[in-house]
Each structure stands twice: as C-alpha cells, then as structure tokens.
Amino acid sequence: MHTLSNWKAKRAGGRITIYGVDENGISTKIVGVDRIEPSAGFCIATDKDGAAHRLAV
C-alpha cells in the first residue's frame, strides 16, 4: 500500500480523484476513488477496483 502526503481530493463526476506525493517524492494521482475512511491514524482511500491507498494526515 502506497502512502501519499500533501494530498488533496477533488470530485470528478461520480467519484473522487486524489492528487499527492508518494513516499519517493513522485507526484501521483489516484482516480476513481469510491470512499475515504479513517484507519489506524491514517485515511484510507479505496478506488473502484478495491485497491487501498494510505493518505498521510
């Protein structure tokens, strides 16, 4: 599971797109996010394919 920092979420159609920087300092975009929920001190974004992405707070 990748961790994104300095992220922001924007609504795009019926889903959410998240822009951020991964642990290697590379700009990353996660498209098709269905939900964002808290878990163990992080926010977890789950995309339409069921993949989870950790969002640093």
Mean pLDDT for the stretch of residues 32-50: 93
| Domain span holding position 17 | 3-55
The number of domains in the chain is: 1
Check pLDDT > 90 for residue 19.
yes
- Count other Cβ atoms within 10 Å, centred on residue 45: 22
Give the β-pairing of 52-55 and 3-12. Answer: parallel
Tokens coding 53: 């992405």
Does the pLDDT of residue 31 top 90, yes or no? yes
Mean pLDDT for all residues in the chain: 94
